[in-house]
Amino acid sequence: MQNSPVPPLLRLEGLSKSFGPVHALSDVDLTIRAGEVTALCGDNGAGKSVLIKCISGIFTPDAGTLYWNGKPESISTPKDANELGIQTVYQDLALADNLDIVQNMFLGRELTRHLALDEDSMERQAAATLASLSVTTVRSIRQPVASLSGGQRQAVAVAKAVMWNSKLVIMDEPTAALGVAQTAMVLKLVTQLASRGLAVILISHNLNDVFSVANSIAVLYLGTLAAHEPASSLTRQKVVELMTAGTLHHGIPQEERDHGSA
Amino acid sequence: MAVHSTTPRTPEHEVAPQPGNPTSPADATFGSYAHDTWRKIITGESGVLPVVVGLIVIGILFQTANNNFLSPGNIVNLLVQGSVFMLLAMGEVFALLLGEIDLSIGFVAGISGIIAAELVKGTIGWPVWLALLIALLAATAIGAIQGTIITRLGLPSFVVTLAGLLAWQGVMLMILGNGGTLPINNAFFNGIANASIPPLWGWLIMGIAVALYALLIWSREHRRRSSGLVAPPSSITWLKIAGIAAAGIALLLIANANRGILFPIEGLPWVVLLVLGVLALWSVLLGRTAYGRYVYAVGGNAEAARRAGIGLANIRTIAFACSGFTAGIAGIVYASRLQSVSTNLDGGQLVLYAVAAAVIGGTSLFGGHGKALHAVLGGIVIAAIYNGMGLLGLSAALQYVVTALVLLAAVTVDSLARRGRAA
């Protein structure tokens, strides 16, 4: 994977982060490429959240370097991350229920004309972004977010994230609270982002979801990177093993099945 | 996922990234618009329907009990009586939108009235405009200080403004002395709530206001229609303009009728124009500016607003300052109407009426939903109950009970609408 002459979009080298005596992340190397979905797996407490918070500027790593397009960068605030083109869609989505879709997508970055809000331009851009993501099931983009289904809300949150010239979208458990049809729609959205040339980091507990969209899978185990392999070279069984044991015991695949229907 | 899709789903390769709404046709018909409006009303999104129905019911009830209720003289009287409620309630809307409350605005209004009255009285004799300006600045500053304490120290607004209620009442008593009254002898000051616009001027001002509104709304919706965005059909645009024009004409016909008994009195009281001006100002601020958008966002989901990079403390502090400023206007109107300020001013009761008016009008107590218009409509309801029961010679005790019942009904409607939205 390293023989490409173009530097990867994001490369983490030796990333470490401790909270007092707890080593949340130790010496993690990870490469994220544009146009690919990288799934981040790991058991609770494996360090997934800490890792994405280091990338999105909420935590500052204790050690390690972050290369953005081959250049070392330091991200110390969420704003730094946004300026590089990193957007994070958190599990709670951070949408204001009382505002409509357009208002939410432009929240904090409203377009104005002579001090007044330029509703028309915002509505046009929001509609174009939603259309480019093939989000076509909303009745009106002027309806309050409160009236949307879970999948539609997720779609609005993703559209909000990609509208700002983003290059990397991090999604934290986007399908955790969704039904079957809505999950399918969100996964379609994830592949769509990658096919637009964005890099996507997908955090998920659901291995069905991971295997249906991910190009590569990174597994964290107790703060270390247990593996980062193309999805085609892994199986569900192996990922579960990596998540629970941190290594692969090649000899005994059948017995390990008890560990996880995660 | 196909829960809301009434239109057939478009295959993804056919959806080109182009301007325009992805689903709804841009040329909405009259019928579909009416349908959408109805849906908004039943889900409690529009907010004003219950209060308008309530006003009609109140009008019919009192008119059948006493046929003076809907006489031009009484309607104008009612609007003047209600102006203090409407103004205070508009101030309260800022706090309610954030999901906070401001209990101090009744006595902040009192302080504003006292400052203005003190500065224009003979021994000081400042020009009236300067006196009013300083009173408004003081009220704004009080709101800003209370807002700063709430946001920077992280204290509950309920407690901070309750302290404000007590403190400003104390300051008022200190200035006025026990049982004191401060008369106002300035003609302009007293004219704010007691003088009327000459009928011809009234028509002129109303004509200009309606024409401006028509121009704004027509150009906005025409621009949206011609650029392919979702817009109501032009029949709706004309209906809105006709509705505003009809309301303006009706108001002026009522106000310009002679309502005097011994000598002719006619014309729209200036204070009604003042209330409409404040309504226009706050409607634009809340509905058309980024600041207003942030107020709604903070009230709807403060965490989302924070992550969007919105400075919560500033938005909240400015909202409390706006609340204080509006209370300052209310205080000046209150003093002007009574041509004096006295210790009879019960700011505690005024603020309760203000909260009641805002909520009756359709503003949510839970934050994020509300408009300045709600405060005006709710203020009219309270004034109508007050005035109608007075006409019928019913006791003050009964007035309190009825106002309480209306408030309970309004909060119930708000709560049900909230559940409807969440579902």
Specify if A2 maps to a domain: no
Enumerate the residues of chain A whose CB falls inside 8 A of the CB of residue B46.
none
Structural contact between residues B40 and A142, judged by C-beta atoms closer than 8 angstroms: no
CB contact under 8 A, A139 and B288: no
Specify if A3 maps to a domain: no
CATH number (domain holding residue A197) = 3.40.50.300
Q: Where is average pLDDT lowest: A23-32, A141-150, A216-225, B289-298? A: A141-150
On the 0-12 / 13-18 / 19+ scale of CB atoms within 10 A, B13 is: exposed
Closest approach of A123 to chain B, Cα-based (Å)? 8
For an interface test with B, give the residue of A99, A112, A135, A186 to mutate (most B CBs within 10 A): A99
Query: Residue B15's pLDDT is what?
Result: 36
In this prediction, residue B42 has a pLDDT band, given cuts at 50, 70 and 90, of: low
Enumerate the residues of chain B whose CB falls inside 8 A of the CB of residue A135.
22
In this prediction, residue A260 has a pLDDT band, given cuts at 50, 70 and 90, of: very low
Q: Are strands A168-172 and A10-19 parallel, antiparallel or unpaired?
A: unpaired
Residue of B nearest to A97 (CA): B300
Specify if A26 maps to a domain: yes
Q: How far is CA B237 from the centre of its chain?
A: 24
Closest approach of A42 to chain B, Cα-based (Å)? 26
In this prediction, residue A261 has a pLDDT band, given cuts at 50, 70 and 90, of: very low
CB contact under 8 A, A147 and B229: no
For an interface test with B, give the residue of A106, A110, A135, A136 to mutate (most B CBs within 10 A): A136
Q: Identify the domain containing residue A162 by its residue range.
A: 10-259
SS (H, E, C) B171-223: HHHHHHCCCCEEECCCHHHHHHHHCECCHHHHHHHHHHHHHHHHHHHHHHHHH
pLDDT for residue A3 is more than 70: no
Specify if A4 maps to a domain: no
pLDDT for residue B4 is more than 60: no
CB contact under 8 A, A97 and B293: no
Structural contact between residues B51 and B374, judged by C-beta atoms closer than 8 angstroms: yes
Specify if A18 maps to a domain: yes
In this prediction, residue B377 has a pLDDT band, given cuts at 50, 70 and 90, of: very high
Enumerate the residues of chain B whose CB falls inside 8 A of the CB of residue A137.
1-5, 9, 23
pLDDT for residue A254 is more than 80: no
Residue B153: strand, helix, or coil: coil
Structural contact between residues A24 and A51, judged by C-beta atoms closer than 8 angstroms: no
**Domain B48-195+269-416: which topology?**
ABC transporter involved in vitamin B12 uptake, BtuC (1.10.3470)
Query: Residue A174's pLDDT is what?
Result: 86
Q: Are strands A71-73 and A63-68 parallel, antiparallel or unpaired?
A: antiparallel
Residue B244: strand, helix, or coil: helix
Angle at B329 between CA B217 and CA B280, to 5 degrees: 0
From A78, A116, A185, residue closest to B288, measured CB to CB: A116
Enumerate the residues of chain A whose CB falls inside 8 A of the CB of residue B223.
120
Residues B172-225 have pLDDT tens digits of 999 998 778 999 999 999 999 999 999 999 999 999 999 999 999 888 888 888
Rounded CA-CA distance B46/B39 in Å is 9
CB contact under 8 A, A95 and B289: no
CB contact under 8 A, A99 and B297: yes
Specify if A5 maps to a domain: no
Angle at B386 between CA B384 and CA B392, to 5 degrees: 95
Share of chain B above pLDDT 90, in %: 57
Residues A14-40 have pLDDT tens digits of 999 999 888 899 899 999 999 999 999
Query: Residue B43's pLDDT is what?
Result: 58
Q: Are strands A199-203 and A37-42 parallel, antiparallel or unpaired?
A: parallel
Rounded CA-CA distance B273/B4 in Å is 44
Residues B126-172 have pLDDT tens digits of 999 999 999 999 999 999 999 999 999 999 999 999 999 999 999 99
Specify if A108 maps to a domain: yes
CB contact under 8 A, B17 and A185: no
Alpha helices (runs of H) in B66-127, residue ranges in sequence order? 72-97, 105-120
Specify if A28 maps to a domain: yes
CB contact under 8 A, A131 and B24: no
| B12 or B223, greater pLDDT | B223
Query: Residue B23's pLDDT is what?
Result: 41
**How would DSSP label each residue in chain A?**
----SSPPSEEEEEEEEEETTEEEEEEEEEEE-TT-EEEEEE-TTSSHHHHHHHHTTSS--SEEEEEETTEEE---SHHHHHHHTEEEE-TTTT--TTSBHHHHHTTTS--EETTEE-HHHHHHHHHHHHHHTT----S-TTSBGGGS-HHHHHHHHHHHHHTTT-SEEEEESTTTT--HHHHHHHHHHHHHHHHTT-EEEEE-S-HHHHHHH-SEEEEEETTEEEEEEEGGG--HHHHHHHHHHSS--TT-TTGGGGG---
pLDDT for residue A262 is more than 50: no
- Tell me the sheet residues that pair with A144: A100
**Which of B181, B182, B147, B178 has its CA nearest to residue B164?**
B147
B153-to-A10, B16, B98, B160, B317 alpha-carbon distances in Å: 41, 51, 17, 10, 12
Residues A70-128 have pLDDT tens digits of 899 988 888 888 889 998 888 888 899 999 999 999 998 889 888 889 888 899 889 88
Residues A169-188 have pLDDT tens digits of 999 888 887 888 888 888 98
Residue B257 per-residue DSSP state: S
- The residues spanned by each domain of chain B are 48-195+269-416, 196-268
What proportions of chain B, in percent to the nearest 5, are helix, strand and coil?
A: 70, 5, 25
**Which of B270, B251, B288 has its CA nearest to residue B371?**
B288
Q: How many residue pairs bridge chain A and chain B with CB atoms within 8 Å of each other?
A: 142
Enumerate the residues of chain B whose CB falls inside 8 A of the CB of residue A186.
none
CB contact under 8 A, B227 and A124: yes
pLDDT for residue A253 is more than 50: no
Q: How far is CA A164 from the centre of its chain?
A: 15
Residue of A nearest to B18 (CA): A128
Residues contacting B52, CB < 8 A, separation 6+: B377
For chain A, what is the domain count? 1
Residues A47-83 have pLDDT tens digits of 888 999 899 888 889 999 999 998 999 888 888 888 8
Q: In which residue are the tokens 């704010």 written?
A: B192
pLDDT for residue B10 is more than 60: no
pLDDT for residue B227 is more than 80: no
From B22, B289, B300, residue closest to A116, measured CB to CB: B289
- Tell me the sheet residues that pair with A23: A18
